[in-house]
Amino acid sequence: MNLLVVGGAGYIGSVVTEELVRGRHSVIVLDDLSTGHRDAVAPLAYLVKGAIGDAARLREAFTTKEIDCVIHLAARSIVSDSVADPEGYEEANVRQGTILLDAMKEHGVSRIVFSSTAAVYDASAPMPLRETSPLVPGNPYGWTKLRFEEILRERARADGMRYVSLRYFNVAGASIDHGEDHRRETHLIPLLLDAALGAREAVPVFGSDYPTQDGTAVRDYIHVVDIAEAHVRAIRYLMEGGASATLNLGAERGLSVREVIGWVERVTGRGVPTVEAPRRAGDPPSLIASSEEAGRVLGWRPQWGDIDTIIETAWTWRQRYPEGYAE
Ligand SMILES: NC(=O)c1ccc[n+]([C@@H]2O[C@H](COP(=O)([O-])OP(=O)(O)OC[C@H]3O[C@@H](n4cnc5c(N)ncnc54)[C@H](O)[C@@H]3O)[C@@H](O)[C@H]2O)c1
């Protein structure tokens, strides 16, 4: 198949691209490298450097090969930034995304896999969250993802587009060659690993007064390789004529920040300095998935679910690449 991975130079996109190339698909990556890296793109994939709002680069991406399916991972995705700049997030995650959908229509491409998020849910709903749980995002980032899901539904009705929206929970871990390297890191596990390496001062624990077992925020951590496998299955599902679907992807268990710190210390054998800090704007107390529906529709089950495996793979990658990607 010929696949266009938008955002394929990013953390998750690079692992998705790696899996697709390994499956002998022909992969074109469109990425503006705003938070991604040229070196993160699998060597057998063809990189078009450009933004999804750039008509010329979009044309290049859609005409290099006849595209069978688009995988859309490109977004701004830092919750606290979205609180500070909701309009910028609307522009990047919604309006720019519709330019991509217009280009798909123009080039006769009707299938898309979209990276959505647990942030679309009302975090005060009972856990675990199911696809039928109430949708009330707690921050502008979540609202932009929910709005784009609605646009996909509208396009499906109007233009016959078919989509799979994958609502990831907290993605973590690494493959052998690809890991998490954000120049402005906000994710807990890479921050803790950097501190374990001595490359960072104490890691802030944002909020220790949440209504959770130890007062710190609880999240559902899912391995990036499992996420990539769900994309492979979602593409196959759409190619075989599957109906549009919206699916959670999580490991179905919650771990508090303090529990993750303990696991990082055990896996690395090093102490990790942390410091208590106030809650971060837009962060809910707890997010835990039910992934039953993804099992039913895609036959997907996490294979790398244990937190020690997730941390171990991220740690191995970080030790191999202590400075991250080259540029
Ligand atoms: N990391 C997580 O835990 C998580 C959880 C839920 C959802 N998501 C979603 O998954 C997707 C990927 O997340 P990630 O953690 O890999 O982020 P990332 O920042 O590492 O990757 C995003 C990639 O998209 C590119 N990009 C951004 N805006 C672009 C634009 N306008 N045009 C072209 N390229 C652009 C960036 O350069 C980067 O390579 C995002 O849509 C994010 O919202 C991530």
CA distance 156 to 21: 28
CATH 3.40.50.720 fits 2-172+223-249, yes or no: yes
CA distance 88 to 183: 20
Average pLDDT, the chain: 96
Q: pLDDT at position 46, please?
A: 97
Pocket (CB within 6 angstroms of ligand 1): 7, 9-13, 31-36, 51-52, 73-75, 77, 92, 96, 115, 117, 168, 170-171, 182
Confidence of residue 175 (pLDDT cuts 50, 70, 90): very high
Q: pLDDT at position 233, please?
A: 98
Confidence of residue 321 (pLDDT cuts 50, 70, 90): very high
**Ligand 1: centre distance to CA 237 (Å):** 23
Q: pLDDT at position 167, please?
A: 98
Q: pLDDT at position 95, please?
A: 97
Helix, strand, or coil here: 117?
strand
pTM, full prediction = 0.97
The active-site residue out of 11, 141, 163, 210 is: 141
Q: pLDDT at position 283, please?
A: 85
CB count, 10 Å around CB of 305? 17
**Ligand 1: centre distance to CA 40 (Å):** 13
CB count, 10 Å around CB of 185? 17
111 touches 99 (CB < 8 A): no
Tokens of 22: 């390994």
Residue 79 identity: V
115, 184, 231, best to mutate for ligand 1 pocket (most atoms within 8 Å of CB): 115
Confidence of residue 257 (pLDDT cuts 50, 70, 90): very high
Q: pLDDT at position 261, please?
A: 98
Provide the CB-side half-sphere exposure for 43 (13 A, CA): 1
Q: pLDDT at position 251, please?
A: 97
DSSP H or E run through 221: strand 221-223
Protein residue closest via CA to atom 7 of ligand 1: 117
Q: pLDDT at position 266, please?
A: 97
Q: Determine the average pLDDT of the residues in 263-292.
A: 94
Q: Which residue bears the tokens 């919650």? A: 254
For the question of residue 11 being annotated catalytic, the response is no
Confidence of residue 185 (pLDDT cuts 50, 70, 90): confident
Confidence of residue 94 (pLDDT cuts 50, 70, 90): very high
Q: Determine the average pLDDT of the residues in 146-159.
A: 97
Tokens of 16: 């998705």
Helix, strand, or coil here: 48?
strand
Asked if the model's pLDDT at residue 9 lies above 90, the reply is: yes
Q: pLDDT at position 326, please?
A: 84
Tokens of 6: 């938008």
Cβ density class 260-270: b for 16+ within 10 Å, e for less: bbebbeebbee
CA distance 93 to 300: 27
Q: pLDDT at position 312, please?
A: 98
Q: pLDDT at position 277, please?
A: 96
Q: pLDDT at position 170, please?
A: 97
Asked if the model's pLDDT at residue 298 lies above 90, the reply is: yes
**Ligand 1: centre distance to CA 297 (Å):** 25
Q: pLDDT at position 214, please?
A: 96
Cβ density class 140-170: b for 16+ within 10 Å, e for less: bbbbbbbbbbebbeebbeeeebbbbbbbbbb
Residue in 95, 146, 92, 87 with CA at minimum distance from that of residue 119: 146
What does the pLDDT look like over 195-247, one tens digit per residue? Answer: 999 999 999 999 999 999 999 999 999 999 999 999 999 999 999 999 999 99
Asked if the model's pLDDT at residue 327 lies above 80, the reply is: no
What does the pLDDT look like over 66-93, one tens digit per residue? Answer: 999 999 999 999 998 999 999 999 999 9
Q: Exposed, middle or buried by CB within 10 Å (0-12, 13-18, 19+), for 275? A: exposed
- Give the Å distances, CA to CA, from 73 to 109, 181, 255, 310: 17, 16, 25, 21
Q: pLDDT at position 69, please?
A: 98
Protein residue closest via CA to atom 29 of ligand 1: 74
H-state helical runs in the chain: 11-22, 55-64, 79-84, 86-90, 96-106, 140-159, 188-197, 224-239, 257-268, 292-298, 307-320
Helix, strand, or coil here: 307?
helix
Q: Determine the average pLDDT of the residues in 119-141.
A: 96
Q: Determine the average pLDDT of the residues in 171-200.
A: 94
